[in-house]
Structure formats: C-alpha cells, structure tokens
C-alpha cells in the first residue's frame, strides 16, 4: 500500500511536523510520496532526502532568520531568504528533486497569475524558498519565469496533487485555532486573522486525508516562535503518540 504524507505550512509551528514524523517513524509507518507547503515543504524535503526526524530538528531549530524577522512594508525593506538558502544548500547539496529518496511535491503561489504551482522536478532549493516566502516579510522569488510567494496563500495542505498517486494519505496540520484568544495588541490580531484565512483553504484538503493529525492549541505559538522549537517539537511528538496507533495507518477494507 502506498502511503502519502502531506505537511502544512505554519512558520515555526512547522517544527511540530518533525515531532509527528518521529512518532510515525517509531510506529513503523513508511511513506511512498510526500507533499508540503512552506515550513512543511522544508521538513518534507529533508525527510525525503534521508534525514531522520531528530537530525531534521537539529537542522531546523537553528534557523537564525526566524529569530529576528519582523514584517517590512516597503519593497526595499523586504528581507531576502539568503539564510534559508544557505542552510538548504549545506544539507541538500545536489539541489535537485532527483536526489530525493521519496518523491516530493512542493506548493508555491505564482503571484502574477494568482494560482498554485506544484514543483516536482528540477532544482529543489528555489522551489523550497519560493514556497516559504511569506508576503510582506520576504521578497517574492523569481524562478524559471515565475514570481512566487508562500504556497500557504492558496494551498496550505497540498493533498490534491498526490491524492491519485497513493492509496492512503496522512495529513499533518500545525495551525489549529483554539477559542482561547486574548486580543492584547494589533500584532496578535493580524497574525490570528492571517492564520484563520490560510486555514480556511485547508477545509477541502483535510476531508481528502485518511488520517488527519492536528495538534491542538497550536495558535499559542507565533509563526516566528523558533525560540520555542523544543516545546513545539515535543508537543507534536506527544500529541501523535497519545492519539494515534499503528492500526490507524492501515487501510480498512469492507467485506
């Protein structure tokens, strides 16, 4: 049976995916195809290249550009993704989809035409950077004639491009929105509003998953809360261990 895994975007919250992967690895769940957006695409790429979850966590928790980023509203002030690109080139030196051990689909938004583009071949790192370029924070990525920003704008849980390529799909979504919210300042209101808007485009995708893993109360973490990486990782791991068993990842047949 071919099992697919789809990882959502979510900034620093995406570290939860690594904890989920660690738990699934311990259950013996093997994946035949992966798909991801933004932070989820980075985790998926490192996993499909062959890194184990603990090593992926060591790599991702030191992403320094997450620690000092703040939105910049002028074009000249937008940040570049140089830090992420350098890190990816270190750990994915071949920079090509062909180097991956598990097929991967990466979702990015082509901002000029307003559609999702799914990368599956060719250069890997520009696709990952394109998928992770949060609007109003990072400059759009110009690549192969397209202009790309964060894939989460239109498809934050890219199930559709791989649904027909596997028998069973596991979705990991790190953007659960709880009812516990204190509107203490404008920054929190803006971030929650964006989180709600992006999460709305996952409603159809989550219905296409055979197993949907969504750790609760993830909105207590900011998209740039990489300083809480250990807590986010541990929570994703414990949530999966406590709520899922190996039999959940087996296709049920009706006689």
Per-residue tokens: 181: 């919210």
Q: DSSP letter at 166? A: -
CB distance 82 to 69 below 8 Å: no
Bridge partners, residue 106, by sequence: 36, 119
Measured distance CA(85)–CA(128) in Å, rounded: 9
Measured distance CA(112)–CA(243) in Å, rounded: 42
What pLDDT, in 10s, does the model give residues 12-49? 899 999 999 999 999 999 999 999 999 999 999 999 99
What pLDDT, in 10s, does the model give residues 124-141? 999 999 999 887 777 889
What percentage of the chain reaches a pLDDT higher than 70?
85
| Cα 182 from chain centre | 26
List, in order, residues 6 or more apart from 98 with CB less than 8 Å away. Answer: 121
| 136 Rama sector, left if φ>0, alpha if ψ -120 to 50, beta otherwise | left
Cα separation values, 182 from 168, 178, 240, Å: 38, 11, 27
Q: DSSP letter at 44? A: H
- Position 77 pLDDT exceeds 50: no
- Does the reported pTM lie above 0.85? yes
Radius of gyration of the chain (CA): 17
What percentage of the chain reaches a pLDDT higher than 90?
62
Region 73-101 average pLDDT = 80
């Amino acid at each position: 049976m071919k099992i697919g895994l789809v990882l959502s975007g979510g900034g620093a919250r995406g570290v939860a995916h690594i904890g989920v992967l660690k738990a699934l690895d311990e259950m013996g769940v093997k994946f035949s195809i992966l798909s991801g957006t933004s932070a989820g695409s980075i985790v998926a790429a490192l996993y499909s290249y062959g890194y184990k979850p603990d090593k992926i966590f060591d790599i991702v928790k030191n992403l320094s550009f997450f620690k000092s980023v703040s939105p910049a509203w002028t074009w000249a002030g937008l940040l570049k993704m140089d830090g992420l690109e350098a890190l990816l080139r270190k750990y994915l030196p071949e920079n090509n989809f062909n180097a991956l051990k598990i097929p991967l689909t990466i979702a990015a938004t082509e901002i000029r035409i307003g559609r999702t583009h799914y990368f599956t071949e060719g250069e890997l790192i520009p696709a990952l950077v394109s998928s992770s370029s949060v609007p109003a924070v990072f400059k759009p990525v110009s690549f192969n004639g397209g202009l790309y920003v964060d894939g989460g704008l239109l498809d934050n849980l890219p199930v559709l491009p791989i649904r027909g390529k596997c028998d069973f799909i596991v979705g990991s979504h790190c953007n659960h929105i709880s009812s516990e919210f204190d509107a203490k300042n404008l920054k929190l209101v803006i971030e929650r509003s964006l989180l709600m808007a992006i999460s709305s485009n996952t409603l159809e995708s989550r219905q296409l998953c055979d197993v949907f893993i969504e750790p609760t109360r993830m909105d207590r973490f900011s998209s740039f809360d990489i300083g809480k990486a250990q807590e986010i990782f541990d929570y994703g791991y414990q949530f999966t261990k406590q709520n899922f068993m190996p039999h959940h990842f087996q296709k049920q047949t009706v006689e």
